[in-house]
Structures are given as structure tokens and as C-alpha cells.
Amino acid sequence: MSDTIVVAAGTPKERRYEVVPLDLIADHAHLWLRTRASLRYIHEHFRHDYDWFYKTDDDTYVIVENLRQYVKRPEIMQAFNRESIQLGHRFNLARRAFNYYADLATS
């Protein structure tokens, strides 16, 4: 099994590659709806398969291999077992919070 999965969510107009289609307005005013729909999809399909999820937008740059090596460091894994890890813009959800928001998105 791979340790990496990419889930891209967008609108049909953004279909440069395989995406999970979202029936949402693709503008800045609707970012929360898009984020919530993406979290719901990941929660429904992948929550038991991976320890880490990295949410990003089209204006984000990340060197995936560096991020992968970072989260494998022993001190990061130890911290992960005790507390939430935050990167970037500090949007971080502990597993319980992730489940809460994903469940809220489906109700």
C-alpha cells in the first residue's frame, strides 16, 4: 500500500486532472463549503487508512518529500501521539475534531 494519496476536489471547469466533483461555487466566499465537502469526502473514504492528511489550496507550494520526512521524525511521531501537529496556516484538526466536522457536514 502506498503511503501517499492525492484527493483533488474542484468543479468541472477545473478538471485538468481527475478530481472529486463538488457541486459548489468555486470562489473565495465559499471556501468553507469547499473545505467542508473535501473533509467529508476524505472522512468517508480514507479516515481509517492514513494517519496524516494535508489540506492545501491552489496557491500552496509544498515539497511533498520534505513533508513526508518531517512527519516520520521520531520527535514528531511522539508529539503526534500526545497533541495535534500544526503546519502552515494553522488549520489543524485532531482526529475527534475531524470526525465531528465531517459528521456535521453530512447532517
Per-residue model confidence (pLDDT) at position 75 = 81
- Domain of residue 89: give its range: 9-106
**Total number of domains constituting the chain:** 1
Residue 2 lies in a domain: no
pTM listed for this prediction: 0.58
Query: Residue 3 falls within a domain, yes or no?
Result: no
Class of residue 58 by CB neighbours under 10 A (exposed 0-12, middle 13-18, buried 19+): exposed
pLDDT value of position 37: 83
1 within some domain: no
pLDDT digits (tens, 9 = 90+) for 56-106: 777 778 888 888 888 788 887 777 666 666 555 555 566 777 777 677 666
Mean pLDDT of the chain, nearest integer: 72
Domain-located, residue 4 = no
Q: What is the pLDDT of residues 94-107, one digit of tens each?
A: 677 777 767 766 65
pLDDT at 40: 84
98-to-39, 47, 50, 53, 86 alpha-carbon distances in Å:
8, 9, 13, 10, 14
Q: What is the mean pLDDT of residues 38-52?
A: 82
